[in-house]
Structure 1
Amino acid sequence: MSVTLQITKSNVAVLLLSRPEKRNAFNDGVIHDLIQCIEHTNSLDIRALVLKTEGKHFSAGADLNWMKSMADNDFSENLADSKQLAKLMQVLAACPHPTICAVQGAAFGGALGLIACCDIALCQDDAQFCLSEVKLGLIPAVISPYVIKAIGERAARRYFLTAEIFDAHTAKQLGLVHQVTGQLESALDTLLQTLLDNGPVAVKAAKQLINDVAGKNINDDIIHLTAERIASIRVSEEGQEGLSAFFEKRSPNWQK
């Protein structure tokens, strides 16, 4: 199988795309399998979802043979294919668990959508990125809402239009990735441990808070929502345990 899902002993789901011979490019089958796996994790009691790929490169984006076959299809067939890719991005972005993306080698085209949809992105220091669609006479349409949210409109105006290749440090400056490292697996392990030290309910609630507050005007509704959220979590079982552990100078029960 090109897509596998494994749950580790730490209760972390690892979603692995394994098509190294195709530079982990995705086609309709891969998109379907990724959607199925991500949706499956929604019902699991896990601490995080990690998106990785096998081989030298993270992903070349859309599979060229798949794109060639779509070119022979009519508009309605192309629309249906595009909606599936849009669903993949939406499902990944809406995942209730913390999502982490680990990027190595080249990440081109639609691969940048996957990166932008994850909460946290790490990359190897020699990684390269490219919004390459216009080189093929296409546009990065389906991934655009997520990539623009990650890098901002100003940067999108450059890289959507030029299809320049940019390096890992530029990707960090743009906000596409959070950390550049020479030891990707080690950095991922450290990040996961940092995440696992935190309250599992609080982490998911913090992610939901971002989704509910980001981009909103600070009005009475937002003020009430945020006050209600903190009051609710303070009296929750996990909130009470976390506060008790802090004042008693011990580890909270979720760390045991």
Structure 2
Amino acid sequence: MSFQTISIATDARGVATLTLDRADKHNALSAVMIAELTEAAARLGDDPAVRVVVLTGAGASFCAGGDLGWMRDQMAADAETRFREARALAMMLKALNEMPKPLIGRVQGQAFGGGIGMACVCDVAIGVEGAKFGLTETRLGLIPATIGPYVLARMGEAMARRVFMSARIFDADEAVTLGVLARAVPAADLDAAVEAEVAPYLACAPGAVAEAKALTRRLGAPITEALIDATIADLVARWESDEARAGIAAFFDKTRPPWRTG
């Protein structure tokens, strides 16, 4: 498989490592990366040789959220284009969430915005101590809409309300408390902790694993097409708000948005 923004390596056991490979951009989600991740989820899901997928990032960050160029494009776009781009992001998250292979998150660095969404679509995520996390959208006048169903599925409403609206930065230990991570370990122990999650699947029947994963989705809170479309509409409406225009302009101009008092 040849990609521009991600890489995939599969070992002899059938463990595929899917790496976000834009280290210089902190693995921010661009339109190209979103499309490539969607394709990779389909290919890996359909590949009978793949038993487990490990999702990680190159460099210091797991995923810093939306790419700045992508954000600039959204501000200049019309509503139809914004809807299309938001839907591409939503469908990428859906593809990873529903991939019929175990998806293990190896969160080797910080995760913000969409990066938390990426961690939350993993079946289990192990993170490194010292990593920082945040749902930072409201600082820009936006909302964590398309990632919202997956964040709420992972955290639950009570936990999500601690961090969903405030854009507060939290550490790896709190990410464990909130349910984003299953464990936070020293960097030197990260690979061993991930392997401890991977290895049990290699003794399981692949078809049974796939059906058990699908069963958990049916038994849990359903993330339906209607719900996904509603979150997309919410995000598009936010992009068109005066707050979003002011917040994103302030971000790029390195000035204070009008609502900031502290």
Conserved 8 A contact 1:104-1:126 = no
2:168 aligned with 1:164: yes
Contact 2:128 2:172 in 1 (8 A): yes
Q: Indicate if the aligned counterparts of 1:113 and 1:144 stay in contact, CA closer than 8 A.
A: yes
Q: What is the aligned partner in structure 2 of residue 16 from structure 1?
A: 19
Alignment partner of 1:51 is 2:55: yes
The aligned residue for residue 205 of structure 1 is 211
Q: Do 2:104 and 2:197's aligned partners in 1 also have CA atoms closer than 8 Å?
A: no
SS in structure 2 at match of 1:148: helix
TM-score (norm 2): 0.79
**1:188 matched residue in structure 2:** 194
1:2 aligns to 2:2 (yes or no): no
Q: What amino acid maps onto 1:17 in structure 2?
A: L
Work out the percentage of aligned pairs sharing the same amino acid.
35
Higher relative contact order (CA 8 A, sep 6+): 2
Amino acid in the other structure paired with 1:140 = P
**Residue 74 of structure 2 corresponds to residue 74 of structure 1:** no
SS at match of 1:100: strand
Instruction: Tell me if 1:42 matches 2:45.
Output: yes
Which structure has the greater CA radius of gyration?
Answer: 1
Q: Distance in 2 between matches of 1:187 and 1:94?
A: 24
Deviations 1:113-162 (A, max 9, x none): 11111111110011111000001111100000000111111222231211
Tell me, yes or no, if structure 1 residue 146 matches structure 2 residue 150. Answer: yes
Q: Structure 2, unaligned stretches of length 5 or more?
A: 223-262
Partner of 1:26: 29
Q: Are the counterparts in 2 of residues 129 and 167 from structure 1 also a CA contact under 8 Å?
A: yes
Q: Which residue of 1 aligns with 2:182?
A: 178
CA distance in 1, matches of 2:75, 2:214: 39
The TM-score normalised by the length of structure 1 is 0.81
TM-superposed deviation, 1:198: 2.8
Moved segments of 4+, more than 6 Å:
none
